[in-house]
Chain A
């Protein structure tokens, strides 16, 4: 058995109904995009879970490094003024 002939891995994203984003739901192995779509349809939509599928070669995804989580995301922690709830307005101000 050869392990070098493994079909490449594809990440699967599904839009559950019109109006919603495609969301990651898993992955499949397939030799090409057309068969990856077919496999994703068989594996992930047996109960009408979707109306649209994207497949993306897993090795084409550029991901952030979990080790950089603090430097990437912590700086936003003290910027509460970016949220509307930061501002206390007079009680009689409406529609704002």
Chain B
């Protein structure tokens, strides 16, 4: 998911605790267990703070990097209507990144630290944005499948124990549903078009289906962090549960759309009441997460360049503000 690197081994051990910390920690766990919200200035275990900074900042980075594959198509959208929609969606992604950076900052990290972590490659973003968008159908598939998968993960986060994160997620989820619907609408329009347009949609679905399933992160048996995160109310549903919910929801939508999901093993299992699906290529997932996806280098380079190119604007605006402030003191 947008925070999938949460499940990647980091090698940090739980720190030793003093007796006072132990009591505070027990009180804290009790608050989480009864569904209380934790707010920015409340006492919290260091590990809770660290986990949240990591999760929220990864989520923010994913929103920001997520603008790049779509930005590719702004100048080539097939109509003014589609262009306006795409611009609005990309602006939303930027907004989501900003809500989330602000939520992470309430935990004591700074915007610049987070951006530096992204640009140096220390911080991760969702693996999905390292795949290319060669056709217009990719823009539809990103809305329908990528944002659809994101919504599956984000809705439970609206009840996350950390108040500022939960509030940001509520705002994001409200806006995200437009993203998925416009994607489906775009693909549906293409499916009513020519044979070549239908083939373009099918080809895009074929390329995105498996990487989208990987967005939910490693299988539960291979997932780090999950148990503690569940106890603290940071993560409410497991990777496999979310992935299954997603597959079950998409199968019907794909039928309505008239596309085939590229998995010969995908079929209804009446006994479990869910769809079974084929094995995911986890080697590909780890390759992309570890920096060897089709576009990892290009995406990061585009972010760094945008930041560096904007440096003079940030500096000039700050210099101007400081000068105005000095003048008004002198006056």
Contacts of A67 in B (CB 8 A): 43
Instruction: A28 to B95: give the CA distance in the assembly, Å.
Output: 10
Contacts of B112 in A (CB 8 A): 1-3, 5-6
Q: Given contacts A1-B112, A6-B111, A66-B39, are A35 and B317 in contact (CB under 8 A)?
A: yes
Partner of B324, one of A3, A5, A32, A47: A32
Fill in one digit per residue for B309-324: 1 if any A CB lies within 8 Å of its CB, else 0: 0000011011011001
Enumerate B274-327 residues with CB–CB distance to A below 8 Å: 307, 314-315, 317-318, 320-321, 324-325
> Does B177 reach chain A (CB closer than 8 Å)?
no
Instruction: A66 to B324: give the CA distance in the assembly, Å.
Output: 36
> Does A83 reach chain B (CB closer than 8 Å)?
no
Q: Contact: B41 with A43, CB < 8 Å?
A: no
Q: Nearest B residue to A7 by beta-carbon distance?
A: B318
> Does B203 reach chain A (CB closer than 8 Å)?
no
Partner of B317, one of A7, A26, A28, A44: A7
Contacts of B158 in A (CB 8 A): none
Q: Contact: A1 with B113, CB < 8 Å?
A: no
Contacts of B105 in A (CB 8 A): 9, 27
Fill in one digit per residue for A1-28: 1 if any B CB lies within 8 Å of its CB, else 0: 1110111010000000000000001111
Q: Given contacts A5-B315, A65-B41, are A46 and B95 in contact (CB under 8 A)?
A: yes
Instruction: A29 to B212: give the CA distance in the assembly, Å.
Output: 33
Instruction: A44 to B96: give the CA distance in the assembly, Å.
Output: 10
Contacts of B42 in A (CB 8 A): 66
Q: Contact: A43 with B111, CB < 8 Å?
A: no
CB < 8 Å A-B pair total: 62
- Count residues on chain A whose CB falls below 8 Å from chain B CBs: 24
Partner of A28, one of B41, B98, B119: B98
Contacts of B99 in A (CB 8 A): 26, 43
Partner of A31, one of B41, B175, B320: B320
Fill in one digit per residue for B80-100: 1 if any A CB lies within 8 Å of its CB, else 0: 000000001001100100110
Instruction: A71 to B287: give the CA distance in the assembly, Å.
Output: 54
CB distance from B224 to the nearest CB of A (A): 29
Q: Contact: B321 with A29, CB < 8 Å?
A: no
> Does B168 reach chain A (CB closer than 8 Å)?
yes
> Does B46 reach chain A (CB closer than 8 Å)?
no
Q: Nearest A residue to B99 by beta-carbon distance?
A: A26
Q: Contact: A46 with B168, CB < 8 Å?
A: no
> Does A63 reach chain B (CB closer than 8 Å)?
yes
Complex A-B: 7 CB contacts under 8 Å: A3-B112, A3-B113, A26-B99, A31-B321, A32-B320, A35-B317, A66-B39
Closest 8 CB pairs of A and B: A31-B321, A32-B321, A3-B112, A31-B317, A27-B102, A31-B318, A66-B41, A6-B112
Seed contacts A31-B321, A43-B99; 10 additional CB < 8 Å A-B pairs: A1-B115, A1-B119, A9-B105, A25-B171, A31-B318, A35-B321, A42-B95, A44-B95, A65-B41, A67-B43
